[in-house]
Structure 1
Amino acid sequence: MGYPLELLQAILQTALSPVTAAFVIAAIGLNIHFGYTGLMNMGQAGFMLIGGYGFVISVMNGLGFFPAILISVIASMLFALLLGIPTLKLRGDYLAIVTIGAAEIVRMVARLANLSAITGGPSGIQSPKFRIEFNALSPLPEGRTDLFGLGILDYNNTGVDDWWSRIVAWGLVALFLLVTWLLIRSPWGRVLKGIREDEDAVRSLGKSTFSYKMQALMIGGVMGGIGGIIMAMPAAINPDGMGRATTFNLWMIMLLGGAATIFGPLLGSILFFVVRLVISSLATEYVPSTILSAQQTEIVSWILIGLMLMLLVIFRPQGILGNKKELSFNV
């Protein structure tokens, strides 16, 4: 019974991890872009980098916790504005190419050795200073020796992966899910869906589709930036940690849960991280190291997740929670 209990603890820890919550928030923003507006944004990781670096650089230069968050939000909005003005008239594959290129430009700029005094260069920035004021806001008992139990879970209240971080991160997830639900049910949200289905028809009704798409890009981009802050919160940010793979993972999460659904990003993110963990854990436990090393096990988990996504797209293109009548890859 020892191994099943350990696996269950690892699953719950992964499902409740602030990193999982960060991907949920970024995927909610991507869902607003693609699921509800039809924007093929392949550069959501760029928004995460902008938001994360905006927060980290602000804190490192003496700004307080909340002013740093404000700077991060403003930076994400400006990036959406600069990206959207020349590109939102593009459609489909062209927009995807431009956005992934923009995200790569952000990543490569952050990697520049000439900017290492600001961005840390390829190594990024590591400092416990990010969390000092954040930890000070915690109402939970302080110190690594103070434990907070919840059933079989037992974790530190302060540190990299602590309950205070989980409470804040998942509280933000709940907030953004509620905001998305309210926005999509509003007349503004109905216009977004109209743009996704037939932009010319919406334009013929006198609506400025460019304005609505810009608003959607900025709102989803801010969510991506908040996700980047949560990713950086454990006291480190690295430009390669939010690269192309992060964007592809976000797309996988959104499509797995179901695009154009409120809870699709939440379900998709939890399943994505938990399935990877279960596959790796089972392979490590039951497959001899002479057959599969730890590195090979990680590769196998990615292969199996990719196969599952292919099967999902083939047999249920709308995702687990999606409505085929509203949105599918076959449309």
Structure 2
Amino acid sequence: MAASPTPRPRLPDASGNPAAAALAGLQLPLPLAVAYSGGADSTVLLLAAAQRWPGQVQAIHVHHGLQDAADAFEQHCEQVCAQFHVPLQVRRVAARNAPGESPEDAARNARYQALARAGRDAGLQAVLLGQHADDQVETLLLALSRGAGLPGLAAMPPVFQREGMVFVRPLLALGAQAIRDWVAEQGIPVVEDPSNADTSFTRNRIRHLLVPALQEAFPSYRETFARSARHAAQAQELLESVAVEDLARMGGAPAITALQQLPRARQANVLRHWLRSAHAASASAAQLEELLDQVADCRTRGHKIRIKVGEGFVERQGERLQYLPEASL
């Protein structure tokens, strides 16, 4: 007598999964992946996505190798994906920070690069990320603590492209508590990153010290902060449009005389856009102010401009500004 086939484990009931409602109205290009860390956030997203688009979802786990528990995280992800028959890719990265780069930024950049490459290699159309409303609040507060401008105050966009891949954050309106409650109710095992309790990181200090006070003083802070971030994003989009038009009128590169005819704030806007879009460079507030002062004083042919910005220099070349990476000098 033939052995009975092993029953295929069923996914938890999607009707109770708080991520299911967030995915219900989304029309995304398929197939796609979920960035799966093994934590509660990416777990609810992976299970909801696998049920929303059966057979069209994969998981990608990025092994940073930054802590002793990294191997255990990978093993957990392998077990969960095998249990629910979700294909899994594991990518290992060396997330060491370069000079002038924070360890957090290095890890984040390496993670996005690995996710994008894994997605492209598998022929996927998008990667879903599990950041939620509480992450958005922390991002906004972190930007405020650093004195960020509109791009920082816009916090995390729901959709963006990086390394040739579309990334989507469908859970930005969902609070962390709803996620944790559902995972606990279902008895689904998840991993907890021990570094989340380390208050030497600014984000963790915000999470453990500042957010509880906000919850007590302003219970609706998630919704109001999200609204402010959307306003900042809309304002930044408008500024980008203005900068694109200004730069196009200058022929694609900043012309000194044309810059001088613009208000100082508009000069700063077009210079920031030019540096970011054409050279992937970002000027500090002090560097930008110095560059604007030099542009204002540039009234003779012999006036030289040479300002350190990012990993290179902004220099005058005739009647225009040019950016030279330090490696090319």
Q: Which has the higher strand share?
A: 2
Q: Which has the higher helix share?
A: 1
TM-score where L is the length of structure 1: 0.23
TM-score where L is the length of structure 2: 0.23
Q: Which has the larger radius of gyration?
A: 2
Higher RCO (Cα < 8 Å, 6 or more apart): 1
